[in-house]
Amino acid sequence: MLDPKTLEEFGAKMSALFANSPAKDIEKNAKAMMGGLFAKLDLVTREEFDVQAQVLARTREKLQALEARVDALEKARSGQ
């Protein structure tokens, strides 16, 4: 088995090597280009999506409560 400490050292060396290589510049440029493309597509962030999902869940709960209330009122009215 490989020693976890050896793997960490290897990972650190590879990260340092990668940080000093042209690949890092390519990665930065690609991220900037993709960010610009995504901005044009009018996408939402995961955080915004999660907030809207929570709002929708609360709205569904309120709707179900209102539907139950209307059903109860209709039953009470038809029972008179």
- Residue 24 · residue 18 · CB < 8 Å: yes
Query: For every one of its 80 residues, what pLDDT tens digit does the chain have, with 9 covering 90 and above?
Result: 456 777 788 778 777 777 777 777 777 788 888 888 777 877 788 999 999 999 999 999 999 999 999 999 999 998 86
Q: Which residue reads 């960490």 in tokens?
A: 8
Per DSSP, 41 falls in state T
Task: Tell me, yes or no, if the pTM score tops 0.75.
Answer: no
Task: Round the CA-based radius of gyration of the chain to a whole number and report it.
Answer: 28
CA distance 14 to 76: 73
